[in-house]
Amino acid sequence: MSCNGCRVLRKGCNENCILRQSLQGIESPQAQSNATVFVAKFFGRAGLMSFLSAVPTPNVLSLLFEACGRTVNPVNGAVGLLGTGNWNVCQAAVETVLRGGVLRPIQEFSGEYPAEESDDIDFFVSRDLHVARQKPAGRRSRSPPYAGISWLLPVTGAGEFC
């Protein structure tokens, strides 16, 4: 019988399944499925399996905490939340994922500012920044293909390599 992680990822499962061993710390089958889907979306299915096979005691929870921390705080991740004393935000994000909720970056941690604050610096931005420049009409002059890069061509002379 396949484990909840393999069932959600639609892959074959056996008695020595890495996902089965690592999902034992999560109680409910639905929470196991939610955690597997979230971590697989964040790291990719192949990345998840390679991470779990690379460690001696595989644990999806550590990957889940990192994925949730990186989603909520894209700049510093779970370590940044721990270092700034906001570990409760990461724990709440993990609980949200285990219940099947959706996470979004928290504006305070993402480095983005609301529109009201950024309106004051609009005069620094060039208005024609995203306008494509048109080439002047007329005849194009033909230059040799390597006209401006003569310094790239080999120099032959006494004592120099060609």
**pLDDT band of 155, cuts 50, 70, 90:** low
Residue 91 located in a structural domain: yes
| Domain extent for 69 | 4-111
- 103 within 8 A of 72, measured Cβ to Cβ: yes
pLDDT tens-digit readout, 105-132: 888 776 554 545 444 444 444 444 444 4
Residue 33 located in a structural domain: yes
At 75, the amino acid letter reads: V
Q: Which two tokens stand for residue 121?
A: 């610096």
Residue 158 located in a structural domain: no
Q: According to the model, what pLDDT value does residue 122 have?
A: 41
Query: Is residue 107 classed as helix, strand or coil in its secondary structure?
Result: helix
Residue 138 located in a structural domain: no
Is pLDDT above 70 for 144?
no
pTM higher than 0.75: no
Domain count, the chain: 1
